[in-house]
Amino acid sequence: IDESIQRFNDLINKKELKIKFKADKHCCVQVPIYHATLVIDNIISNAIKYSNQKGTIIIELKSKGHQVSCIISDEGIGINKEDIDKLFNPFFRSAFLEHKNISGTGLGLAITKKALDAIHGKIHIKSKKGYGTKVEILLSIK
């Protein structure tokens, strides 16, 4: 997570975003670095891209029974209710106005889902248009 934040530092500074990172002390999970990097980079990249100027992004890591939960929340443009089920379809991008000058391929979440499937991880996305988005990644400790 730290490395990913470093990689996007220029964009974070340009948008004057505040990043808050909270982690449970004894929160530990072992996953292949390639998958972890791909998933975290894509979710953090979205949180940054779809944040408004001076927004706050909160990243929380906590233990949840036999799983580790990573929640990444932003206060950005949010997602239409009708679009939530399509987010993992390759090339899907929400079609509303605020989006027009934000570039992307619509592949990030499709690839993220594949990477999580490969390591038996789960992803849940909740969002309210105009208020922000919350993405939860669940990884099994075993």
Residues at the interface with Mg ion (CB under 5 A): 46, 108
Residue 44 CA to residue 15 CA, distance in Å, equals 14
With residue 113 as reference, give the H or E element that holds it. Answer: helix 108-118
Q: Is 44 in the site for ligand ATP (CB under 6 A)?
A: no
Partner touching 55 among ligand ATP, Mg ion, none, CB below 5 to 8 Å by kind: none
Measuring CA to CA, how many Å separate 116 from each of 12, 75, 98, 119, 133?
A: 26, 24, 29, 5, 19
- What backbone phi and psi angles, to 5 degrees, belong to 97? -50, -45
Q: Which is nearer to ligand ATP, 71 or 74 (CB)?
A: 74
Residue 126 CA to residue 81 CA, distance in Å, equals 9
Partner touching 50 among Mg ion, ligand ATP, none, CB below 5 to 8 Å by kind: ligand ATP
Q: What residues from 73 to 112 belong to the interface with ligand ATP (CB under 6 A)?
A: 74, 76-79, 87, 92-94, 99, 104-110
Q: What does the binding site for ligand ATP look like in residue numbers (CB under 6 A)?
A: 42, 46-47, 49-50, 74, 76-79, 87, 92-94, 99, 104-110, 133
